[in-house]
Amino acid sequence: MYNPKTWAVTLVLGFAVPAFAQHGPGGHVGGPGHGHGAMSNHEDMRRDAATANKSVSERLSDNTKLAARLQSLLPKGTNLQTAASGFKNLGQFVAAVHVSHNLGIPFAQLKAKMLGPPAESLGKAIQQLKPSAQAKIEGKRAERQAKDDLKESKS
């Protein structure tokens, strides 16, 4: 005998069970890098959470390769930990170091504009401190350099 409610449940279960079996109990699709011996997403998330709780200065202390790279871009005698203090995240600091180096803007002036008050974006700070520069292009360039530095320092 045909029962619409039973048919609907069967239809739903008919699709849900194979999907569950395919993806496993976590609902995640396995793929390259998700097998035994590879770091799981949960481990990545725990590591990222632990890193996120550290200040920019602490992260630089842990990453000597990146610290050495940035120190070489700043004027001699610059205390890297002091320079990094106050920035929201490591990427913002690294991009600011690159802008300062690329455009010859004194780092202390750039930092003061970015951290405020009032706090300004990297692009707006570039625009105010070096009006002849193409702020948007230079900001993107520095962000790309920062991303490359961060990626390289992890390897």
Residue 7 falls inside a structural domain: no
Contact predicate 142/70, CB 8 Å: no
Q: Which domain holds residue 121?
A: 56-154
Residue 49 falls inside a structural domain: no
Residue 73 falls inside a structural domain: yes
* Domains: count for the chain: 1
Contact predicate 99/105, CB 8 Å: yes
Residue 22 falls inside a structural domain: no
Residue 104 phi/psi, 5-degree rounding, is: 70, 25
Residue 44 falls inside a structural domain: no
Contact predicate 115/87, CB 8 Å: yes
Per residue in 21-65, pLDDT (tens digit) is 444 444 444 444 444 444 455 555 555 555 667 899 899 999 999
> What's the pLDDT score for residue 71?
97
Residue-wise pLDDT tens for the chain (155 aa)?
Answer: 555 555 444 444 444 444 434 444 444 444 444 444 444 555 555 555 556 678 998 999 999 999 999 999 999 999 999 999 999 999 999 999 999 999 999 999 999 999 999 999 999 999 999 999 999 999 999 999 999 999 999 87
Residue 13 falls inside a structural domain: no
Residue 123 falls inside a structural domain: yes
Residue 47 falls inside a structural domain: no
User: What Å distances lie between residue 105 and 9, 74, 111, 129, 146, CA to CA?
Assistant: 67, 11, 10, 7, 17
